[in-house]
């Protein structure tokens, strides 16, 4: 049995052809779904939203430094003005990892701050892929926080799990100049003649009875990674470099692959522990990078009228400065526990401000519903008064 990823680097087909294959594959997958799941998938097709960008503006960001100081976040301001702003989103101080994970699972569950392991609950990525019959290339997470954040891609629930997980790319981990220099030193893999590629596929297929499980998605991811390494992402510098790379990776993924769901997890605002000014600077720069992403979406004919944004921090920060003139997160104040969520998209209301309390765990069922999936294990509710 041949595996396409063995010869991925010989693939020179244009992305357009790949896209068509995705669409055909997804359509075939939908037809094969049980009737209930198919109904759930088909219902929202009347909506204009076909793509969702979910941004965990994480690292602990207070509303005081975002909508409380509008000059810091002109992009968020503009999105909110043209969309829906939830002013009181209850989050939980579960540590960065647990709090961000709860956005994706719709369940507030205690996780260790440095726990480098997957959760037991399904994530919205798994719901969307399973219910929608989507391939891995349709669902991505772009992170900036390193190894721990790859655990967001899927949980360990027996009904879901790895086979429905998102592709996770950590921008700063993968697209750093040092790694690129290794590839520059080693060189690129050589293109195999067709017959040799066939023999390779035959031998690989023979190992362990042929159940290796790699497929077209892996081949596309391989190609994307190698292409991205040669672009400018690895060269991004500055106080928010890791966050900026995560946003840049998401932008490139969106424009190239047109996936249904891209999530971005930022992290560097946590510099606030030691420097208030550094923290504010990172917020400003991340807002600017989100502005680039938003512009790219609006400039793309396929994305501009079909893409929704949902943006919120995982939690805020303490009300008062610490002894280092920084901001920790542990005082139980409203500044810590309530954040602001911004929603913008073709189906959402415009210039609507919601003052009522909602919860960060409401995001998971909301995004799932937007994409025709059902977050059956989530404990949050759909965000109220979101639609026009």
Partner 1 sequence: MRALGLSLALLGFALVASPPARAQSGATEAAPARALDDAALRAACFDLLGRPPLEPERAEWLGRARHEFLDHWLARRETWANWVEEQLYFFLLIDNFRPENERVAELPTLLAAGKLDVRTAIHRIALSPSFDQRNPGADTFVTVVMEQLNGLRVQKNVRELEVGKGIYDGRPGTFLGKSGSTQADVLRIAIEDRSFSQQFLVREHRRIVRAEPEKGTLAELARRFQRDPAEFRAILREWMLSSAWDERVRSRTSAPNRMWIAALHVDLLGREPLPEEARRLRTALDGLSDTGPLRSVLARVLIDSGQVKLPSKEAIADPTRWIADLFARLLGRAASPDELRAFVAAFHEPECRPQTVLYALVTHPEYQTY
- Residue ranges in 242-301 that form contacts with partner 1 under rule CB under 8 A: 273-274
Of 45, 68, 179, 227, the residue at the interface with partner 1 (CB under 8 A) is 179
Cβ of residue 154: shortest distance to partner 1, in angstroms? 7
Of 28, 225, 299, 388, the residue at the interface with partner 1 (CB under 8 A) is 225
Cβ of residue 234: shortest distance to partner 1, in angstroms? 10
- Report the SS3 class of residue 111: coil
Task: Please give the Cα distance from 98 to 107 (Å, whole number).
Answer: 10
Q: Which helix (H) or strand (E) holds 299?
A: helix 276-299
Binders of partner 1 among residues 94 to 133 (CB under 8 A) are: 94-95, 110, 112-116
Of 272 and 343, CB closest to partner 1: 272
Cβ of residue 166: shortest distance to partner 1, in angstroms? 7
- In the block, tokens 């709860």 appear at 102
- Report the SS3 class of residue 82: coil
Instruction: Kindly indicate which of the ranges 63-71, 163-171, 253-261, 298-306 contains the residues binding partner 1, using the contact rule CB under 8 A.
Output: 163-171
Of 332 and 384, CB closest to partner 1: 332
Cβ of residue 240: shortest distance to partner 1, in angstroms? 15
Site membership for partner 1, residue 167 (CB under 8 A): yes
Name the nearest CA neighbour of 93 among 346, 305, 334: 334
Of 70 and 146, CB closest to partner 1: 146
Instruction: Kindly indicate which of the ranges 2-10, 62-70, 82-90, 288-296 contains the residues binding partner 1, using the contact rule CB under 8 A.
Output: 2-10
CA dist list (Å): 113 to 50, 54, 93, 161:
34, 22, 10, 22
Site membership for partner 1, residue 13 (CB under 8 A): no
Contact yes or no for 299/254 (Cβ under 8 A): no
Cβ of residue 170: shortest distance to partner 1, in angstroms? 3
Binders of partner 1 among residues 181 to 220 (CB under 8 A) are: 181-183, 186-190, 192-193, 195-196, 199-200, 202-209, 212-214, 218-219
- Report the SS3 class of residue 288: helix
Name the nearest CA neighbour of 385 among 339, 359, 353: 353
- In the block, tokens 């929704």 appear at 308
Cβ of residue 132: shortest distance to partner 1, in angstroms? 19
Of 102, 135, 176, 252, the residue at the interface with partner 1 (CB under 8 A) is 176
Of 280 and 303, CB closest to partner 1: 280
Cβ of residue 68: shortest distance to partner 1, in angstroms? 22
Of 174, 296, 319, 349, the residue at the interface with partner 1 (CB under 8 A) is 174
Site membership for partner 1, residue 359 (CB under 8 A): no
The CB density around residue 313, as the number of other CB atoms within 10 Å, is 30
Instruction: Kindly indicate which of the ranges 63-71, 145-153, 250-258, 352-360 contains the residues binding partner 1, using the contact rule CB under 8 A.
Output: 145-153
CB-count exposure of residue 380 (10 Å: 0-12, 13-18, 19+): buried
309 Cβ contact list (under 8 Å, min separation 6) = 52, 53, 54, 55, 79, 83, 294, 342, 343, 344, 345
Of 203 and 388, CB closest to partner 1: 203
From residue 317 to residue 356, the character string flagging contacts with partner 1 as x (rule: CB under 8 A) and all else as - is: -----x---x-xxx--------------------------
The count of residues interacting with partner 1 (CB under 8 A) is 74
196-230 residues labelled b (16+ CB within 10 A) or e (exposed): ebeeebeebbeeeeeeeeeebbbbbbbbbeeebbe
Rounding to the nearest 10 degrees, give the CA dihedral for residues 369, 220, 100, 51: -30
Contact yes or no for 166/371 (Cβ under 8 A): no
Of 222 and 335, CB closest to partner 1: 222
């Amino acid at each position: 049995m041949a595996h396409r990823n063995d010869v991925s680097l010989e693939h020179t087909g244009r992305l357009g052809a790949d896209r068509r294959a995705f669409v055909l594959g997804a359509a075939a997958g939908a037809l094969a779904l049980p009737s209930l799941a198919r109904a759930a998938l088909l219902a929202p097709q009347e909506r204009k939203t076909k793509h969702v960008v979910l941004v965990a503006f994480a690292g602990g960001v207070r509303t005081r430094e975002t909508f409380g100081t509008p000059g810091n976040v002109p992009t968020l301001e503009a999105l909110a003005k043209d969309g829906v702003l939830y002013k009181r989103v209850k989050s939980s101080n579960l540590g960065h990892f647990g709090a961000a994970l709860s956005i994706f699972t719709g369940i507030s569950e205690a996780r260790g701050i440095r726990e480098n392991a997957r959760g037991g609950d399904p994530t919205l990525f798994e719901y969307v892929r399973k219910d929608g019959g989507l391939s891995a290339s349709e669902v991505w997470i772009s992170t900036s926080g390193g190894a721990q954040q790859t655990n967001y891609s899927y949980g360990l629930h027996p009904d879901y799990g790895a086979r429905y997980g998102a592709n996770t790319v950590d921008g700063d981990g993968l697209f750093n100049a040092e790694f690129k220099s290794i590839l520059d030193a080693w060189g690129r893999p050589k293109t195999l003649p067709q017959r040799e590629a066939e023999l390779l596929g035959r031998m690989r297929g023979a190992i362990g009875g042929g159940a290796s499980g790699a497929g077209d998605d892996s081949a596309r991811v391989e190609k994307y990674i190698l292409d991205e390494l040669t672009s400018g992402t690895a060269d991004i510098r500055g106080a928010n470099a890791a966050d900026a790379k995560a946003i840049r990776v998401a932008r490139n993924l969106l424009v190239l692959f047109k996936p249904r769901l891209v999530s971005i997890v930022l992290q560097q605002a946590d510099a606030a522990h030691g420097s208030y000014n550094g923290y504010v600077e990172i917020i400003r720069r991340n807002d600017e990078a989100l502005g680039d992403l938003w512009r790219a979406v609006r400039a793309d004919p396929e994305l501009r009228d079909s893409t929704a944004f949902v943006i919120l921090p995982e939690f805020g920060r303490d009300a008062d400065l610490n002894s280092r003139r920084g901001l920790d997160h542990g005082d139980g104040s409203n500044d810590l526990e309530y954040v602001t969520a911004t929603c913008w998209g073709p189906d959402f209301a415009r210039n609507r401000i919601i003052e009522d309390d909602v919860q960060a765990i409401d995001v998971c069922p909301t995004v799932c519903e937007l994409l025709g999936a059902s977050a059956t294990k989530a404990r949050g509710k759909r965000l109220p008064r979101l639609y026009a």
